[in-house]
Amino acid sequence: MQHRFGQSAFRSFALANRAAMAHGALVRGLAALACGAACLLAAPAAFASGTAQLKAFVAQVHSARGEFVQKEVKAPSKAQGGKPTVGNTSSGTFVFARPGKFIWSYEKPYEQVLQADGENLYVYDKDLNQVTVRKLGGALGASPAAILFGSNDLEKNFTLRDAGEKGGIDWLELTPKSRDTQFERVGIGFRDGGLEAMELHDVFGNVTLLTFSNIQKNPPLKADAFKFTVPKGADVING
């Protein structure tokens, strides 16, 4: 879903110029998310490989909240001398509960909320005072958001491969098994058992970089924490 999750694959139904920003998770989507949000946590340091840590995270972390910073890196072009360029940077907060419930909130440079209640995905653009609604359905399946917000059947939708250590971070690479996706691969990095970052590589050569902080795993959440309330006066579009 390349909605404004910018960057994440959720964001395709927001403004076209903003949609180019994020999950691209999320879902790209996370998202993003994602998409996204932080595979957040802390597998025990006893796990040596990124793959083992991710599997432990998915099995042990049923809900989480935290903060993220997202950067877009555009693919090299001849006009730019063949060098990649850094595009938009955004930041915000997230909270999720598996499977399929999350709130991914962009706070800077503009406000936008992507929220899912397990059945529907809501994208609220504060500037436009507009809400776009669509069925969540199987959309999470092979998207980056599935890693953060989906169930624990990652190997059903992705091929996992350890990608070694770089800068003190242990990386693994997930490649979608489905061809019906905007992403070629997703990189996830752990440091000392804690989730550090994600790299979302789309089919056009662009990369969305997500870094996470202040993660809380399995926090207490209210039963209606993910219930979406349409803001007063907002236009609602069913997508």
Kindly report the number of other CB atoms within 10 A of residue 19's CB atom: 23
Q: What is the DSSP letter of 34?
A: -
The answer on pLDDT for 28 being more than 60 is no
43 — pLDDT class (breaks 50, 70, 90)? very low
pTM of full prediction above 0.85: no
Instruction: Give me the pLDDT at residue 179, please.
Output: 80
Mean pLDDT, to the nearest integer, of 86-102?
Answer: 90
* H or E element in which residue 156 lies: helix 154-157
> Which 3 state secondary structure label does DSSP give 190?
strand
Least confident among 23-37, 54-68, 93-107, 205-219: 23-37
Question: Domains of the chain (ranges plus CATH)?
Answer: 7-238 (2.50.20.10)
Instruction: Give me the pLDDT at residue 76, please.
Output: 72
Hey, what are 177's tokens?
A: 């098994």
What digits encode the pLDDT tens for the residues 97-138?
988 899 999 999 999 999 999 999 999 999 999 999 998 876
